[in-house]
Structure 1
């Protein structure tokens, strides 16, 4: 398959359209929830989702990434609106942030996304999966204190997600529990071989069948089993906009009078940097989830996100990023090309204009079940087992990233995971730069790649393992760079070796070779030889 050819978009409609429906069902409450948590109008979240699906989809180079309002920006948005004094003033910063992202894309700043280790990215995905599960369980049992789409482990009132889980046990809604458990069962059955082979049922996505189950059960319960009917506060609540004209009238333009306000540019810079980093991390994660392992161009993604934020700010929307929850739902639902994301944006538009009354029949427990199953697939137990088997250098950064994201937030957790990952990289380089091979009383000490002053301590440790009376060959032929500190450490060893009856032969240390015998004598140096201690690093 070559997804870049236009004909491929038509060839995969049978996969992309159902996946787009699933992404729409996931994105709808998230758009509303993020707007609510950001202190912005509910319409703002929907506008951002629309632009992400209808415009950024085609500007981006990714086939599977989905863009929209990000829960990771809610704290920044809420604080920025308060700092600037009004939502229109904040919208001006969103427009400027988009312009900054376009410039970053032209400056090829997207390369930074390639410097995040795979273990850290997998830790991020697993953490998001666990957060989805933990945060959606209360919604699944009918406890909706947090907004749908909240991805923060620690609450504003200093309680944690575990506290919310405990509170939810005292506010169980029987109907919501039946709907969520039934929805999970429906989606699991839809993944079995019999359903996949059925020519009719295979055309219907499992999450869509789960939503149909939830609506049907609730409508039946209202008339025949009131005790299991789900109260209105546990259903999707989408405001009506009375057609295209009503929708356009509620769009809030930015306040361009902020052009001389320094705070507006500080907020814009913060939004541009954080949104760009979140988008690049999400893009890297989606590339790893892609069954075809396609690699999206990061610079183009920055420009696409910049375009999206410019339009979003102009039309009254929230800042956007490439979002991993909706993107992973797209992958899990079987999406193959950009069409899936475009369908999700188109459905958001249609739902806003003409379908709010029907969408408001959907129980939140249904949507919670979809997200719980998506979270499980991101944090499967076999992922933990696979990374554990790869060794501590892979498992530790993965686990540290996961725990750090749970206890802090996405960006802080990634930063902590990167520090852990760098520790193991440096540790591995220490061992890889210097090797010692022993055969009886003969030793071969090899210097590999770049050997800097950071390798001085490991070198001293290796030299300390050489026994008295040994014959040591120090070979620097494979090193591209040898620091002067390393040469001085070797020179000190040569001097001390005479007292231990050790003969040292050195080769290719800055192009020099020679032998220092145990008695302290050496062959007369030639033009290609010089005392070790006087040698300079390779240029």
Structure 2
């Protein structure tokens, strides 16, 4: 595990600096104690990181669950009761993993997964623009990348100039310059710049900027929500006092189980989608064991609920930051969890000096890499069957939310498959023979189902009288009863229209067959079904 430490350690720093404000922001958006988000980040990094089979996936509090959490806390009446639901959801996920339900993730088309990545990149990029401008009148859900609608995002963009901070714009510009020059120029010239991550340098520059301009009452001062805000305990008792524990006295409350089932399903689905997306980003193309991932997530959620943390999933924002920063193994995930722990224990006041503009700059780079315009051109070149589900997924996620967008993309992908199946049931070739008669050759596909019934029937009905039809089913391994009935009916039509039929199958060649069922053989037909 430690042989890639020189790559994993810098990546863990980047993930840490991305994860810290997200943990706090998601907790804020969920209506939960801020510290609960940090707890979930620590457990997601250390506990889930150790148990997971994912090399690059990073787990933590899920932005996609923020609306569920907010509503659940309100409906249950207390955060302590909500924690019981989190514990139960974790146990349910463990059971799902043991039942090998992780295979669900493989039923999502590649075009939908790639669309999800690009959409998330666009959302990440758009969400950072107000932060980069110093928009300090943001709603609690400013960090919630997935649960807010596209309308909320664009409203923030429309009003961001109402609260511009010159200081934030300056530090964002400085940070972007550092990140771009560090990766594209300096890192290519000297090994030293590869060892020291650009985001760390940007964070140091941001802290230095804040130390210089804080309390100066100038336009360059950064204050309020434009700074990281980590809870600062005065002593060990204060730190322990930040933990909240579940109230198991209400285990008989049916509402708790409804919330638990909801969390288990949504968290598992988001995890499996993130696993699929992260595996596609992995340069080594390693495959994560999904059943083991569900078990690891279940263990993480059980622990998180027991000590006051938010629900956990594998999250694509932090996972993509890990990949883009050069992470090689799960060590980077585990180290980022320890960094979160040490930061809130040892240097909370120091962390509160970091301007959010620095973190916005880091996420702007990550968002652009995920939503690179080249990806759109590549998908377009692959054809409509790939491009249409991809674009629908992107637009739907940006306009609505993650789950709705994925489901719409999946629906379009399924429709595309059905259309292709409808078109590809057979190959038709037509040529003229003597006396103006037509010779038509129809070659059936390997699998012909009821979905192909309409296309085949249309072709047969349009055949002109006195033509010659050659039907080749030698490659066909499965022929649906619906299609067989069409062929039987066409046999009668063909005799009425003086259409000559030559039927070629593995059983031989038949001229003007009376019964197609006898040609296939009733035993063969049954076996195919």
Confirm or deny: 8 A CA contact 2:125 2:364 kept in the other structure: yes
Matched, 1:332 2:324: yes
In 2, the alpha carbon distance for the partners of 1:243 and 1:351 equals 15
* Aligned mate of 2:486, from 486, 489, 497: 489
Residues 261-410 of structure 1 aligned to structure 2 (within 5 Å): 261-410=253-402
In 1, the alpha carbon distance for the partners of 2:200 and 2:291 equals 35
Partner of residue 201, structure 2: 209
Normalising by structure 1, we get a TM-score of: 0.92
Confirm or deny: 8 A CA contact 1:436 1:445 kept in the other structure: yes
Partner of residue 6, structure 1: none
- Calculate the aligned-residue CA RMSD, in Å: 2.3
Partner of residue 435, structure 2: none
* Aligned mate of 2:144, from 141, 150, 171: 150
In 2, the alpha carbon distance for the partners of 1:40 and 1:162 equals 26
Tell me by how many angstroms 1:57 deviates.
0.4
In the superposition, relative to structure 1, how do residues 315 and 461 fare at CA in structure 2: closer, same or farther (>3 Å)?
same
In 1, the alpha carbon distance for the partners of 2:191 and 2:112 equals 40
Tell me by how many angstroms 1:246 deviates.
3.2
Normalising by structure 2, we get a TM-score of: 0.93
3-state SS, counterpart of residue 442 of structure 2:
strand
Tell me by how many angstroms 1:134 deviates.
1.0
Tell me by how many angstroms 1:234 deviates.
1.3
In 1, the alpha carbon distance for the partners of 2:145 and 2:517 equals 65
3-state SS, counterpart of residue 479 of structure 1:
coil
Confirm or deny: 8 A CA contact 1:282 1:322 kept in the other structure: yes
Unpaired runs of 5+ residues, structure 2, are 433-437
* Aligned mate of 1:515, from 500, 511, 515: 511
In 2, the alpha carbon distance for the partners of 1:214 and 1:283 equals 33
Tell me by how many angstroms 1:431 deviates.
2.1
Unpaired runs of 5+ residues, structure 1, are 1-8, 517-521
Confirm or deny: 8 A CA contact 2:63 2:147 kept in the other structure: no
**Quick check: 475-484 or 117-126, which moved more?**
475-484
* Aligned mate of 1:228, from 220, 227, 246: 220
* Aligned mate of 2:448, from 440, 446, 451: 451
Confirm or deny: 8 A CA contact 2:151 2:399 kept in the other structure: no
Tell me by how many angstroms 1:159 deviates.
5.3
Deviations 1:314-352 (A, max 9, x none): 011001000000000000111110111111111100111
**Quick check: 31-40 or 488-497, which moved more?**
488-497
In 2, the alpha carbon distance for the partners of 1:409 and 1:159 equals 11
In 1, the alpha carbon distance for the partners of 2:163 and 2:382 equals 43
* Aligned mate of 1:477, from 464, 474, 480: 474
Partner of residue 3, structure 1: none
In 1, the alpha carbon distance for the partners of 2:387 and 2:526 equals 37
Tell me by how many angstroms 1:81 deviates.
0.8
In 2, the alpha carbon distance for the partners of 1:65 and 1:403 equals 25
In 1, the alpha carbon distance for the partners of 2:294 and 2:43 equals 15
Partner of residue 124, structure 1: 116
Matched, 1:21 2:13: yes
3-state SS, counterpart of residue 228 of structure 1:
coil
**Quick check: 216-225 or 372-381, which moved more?**
216-225
In 2, the alpha carbon distance for the partners of 1:22 and 1:228 equals 26
Say how many residue pairs are matched.
Answer: 520
Confirm or deny: 8 A CA contact 2:64 2:147 kept in the other structure: no
3-state SS, counterpart of residue 45 of structure 2:
helix
